[in-house]
Structure 1
């Protein structure tokens, strides 16, 4: 997903866009892959246009090329193209226009069902599905693979957005997708052809000094970085008609009261109902 101008933009300028300011030192020489990563933005508005089965298979091949813990491969993807099903999923998770309008909605599934079937056929008792470690592995590996898929999609001129709100109502999504025991919907990825009229650009990230620690964690590093980021992000959103945006306020809505989890405080119970976490 790039314009003719983007293709000619050098790595240093792309980094400056990403942070809202240049790095303090000269950046290392970039590569086409790194430059594509630096151009990333979430796409929530789409133009009509096919995402072919061949393209979908290419995205999944890229996803499966990501690193996997112990080669367990404990994730699956359900590709949803049917409009009625996309609409029902959108309604179940609170109404997401980009789920309804994307060409294909990919739901990443933490999938220990397949592994369980393989192991049980060897005559070995399955005892670890309810342990937190396995659940974490399933989510971590799903995230690794899905990011590969999105990067591959962007390299094809497509765009997408991750949809964590699948976890607002995961049991309804699981039922819609026919997920068996030991399979849980982790998140979605809407894919389609970006609408260039969408009012969005490269969103700034925290300065590196707030996230990059050398040798040991620096508990004071975040403060000046967070203050700078508050201003950078306010400037970004002001360009799109939201002059009063506050990152700290956004954090407060999610990290503060439990209501900010939008029902996800029930996650342990939801996971347990699918056999993936207990106690």
Structure 2
């Protein structure tokens, strides 16, 4: 096993950082790594907003659900779906491409491009001995986040990536059974086998939480997921996406 794979397999989310900020060189290297990710048809349909202003970080933390580590970290990166520069390119070339830009396909391209870039950034950061945590909570209040970051039409903040020097040792969380993720030739649909493997995974996750919380928590993966998905959240998203001129046609 090489060092890159070891870094990837050793991933865990870090939610407590020291006060040490990232250097400009580190930030530049992380962004360059993000830019080296694959991108559909060279479209590069994403942007990254670095948030270093203390007041903005504090406000972003509040909007993300009062998560302290969004404010207290080495640096905060916000990854955005971004087709704004493509609208500008069309103006430069004297074309109207709004129908294409506002299609579901290009919306999906921008989401995928941003996710690929973010994962490159995460691996780069972890290879530098830094810790990371993805923050989907900024989607709780995207109108306010967009106003805070001054994002124009055709740009949607998707998630933040907080990076810094870890101030805690966290355990690696067990992932889903291999055969639930990888299917050979066709999708495996043996429901009884699924349930059997999920019961085994439930036991593994329950033990993980028991050890992590000294017995205060022992919930299973299935109960956790169903409980979360049973709660309606962020139902404004379609309207927001449309308002930002991703019409999903």
Aligned counterparts of 1:278 and 1:236: Cα–Cα separation in 2:
41
- 1:166 counterpart residue number: 138
Distance 2:45 2:179 in 1: 35
Within-5 A mapping of 1:239-278: 239-241=211-213, 242-257=216-231, 259=232, 261=233, 264-278=234-248
Map of 2:5 onto structure 1: 34
* Residue equivalent to 1:141: 113
Q: Which blocks of at least 5 consecutive residues in structure 2 are unaligned? A: none
- The question of whether the paired residues in 2 share the 8 Å contact of 1:268 and 1:278 is answered with no
Note the alpha carbon deviations across 1:6-29, whole angstroms, 9 max, x for none: xxxxxxxxxxxxxxxxxxxxxxxx
Greater relative contact order: 1 or 2 (C-alpha under 8 angstroms, separation 6 or more)? Answer: 2
Deviation for aligned residue 1:278:
4.9
Please tell me the root mean square deviation across aligned C-alpha atoms, in Å: 1.3
Alpha-carbon distance in 2 for matches of 1:131, 1:33: 37
Q: State the aligned residue count.
A: 244
Task: Provide Cα deviations, 1:193-245, integer angstroms capped at 9, x if missing partner.
Answer: 0013x4x2111001112221111111125322211111111111111214322
**Alignment partner, residue 131 of structure 1:** 103
In the aligned structure 2, how far is the partner of 1:159 from the partner of 1:48? Answer: 13
Residue 265 of structure 1 aligns to a residue whose secondary structure is: coil
SS in 2 for 1:194: coil
Task: Report what 1:82 is aligned to.
Answer: 53
Once the 2 structures are TM-superposed, how far is the Cα of residue 93 of structure 1 from its aligned partner?
2.3
Within 2, Cα distance between the matches of 1:57 and 1:89?
Answer: 22
Instruction: Return the TM-score normalized by structure 2.
Output: 0.94
Runs of 4+ in 1 over 3 A off after TM superposition: none
Alpha-carbon distance in structure 1 between the residues aligned to 2:111 and 2:87: 17
Residue 99 of structure 1 aligns with which residue? Answer: 70
Q: Unaligned regions of 5+ residues in structure 1, if any?
A: 1-29
Aligned counterpart, 2:180: 210
User: Secondary structure in 2 aligned to 1:239?
Assistant: helix
Q: TM (normalized to structure 1)? A: 0.84
The question of 1:176 aligning with 2:141 is answered no
- Asked if the contact 2:21–2:73 (Cα under 8 Å) also holds between the matched residues in 1, the reply is no
**C-alpha displacement of 1:91:** 1.2
**2:94 partner SS:** coil
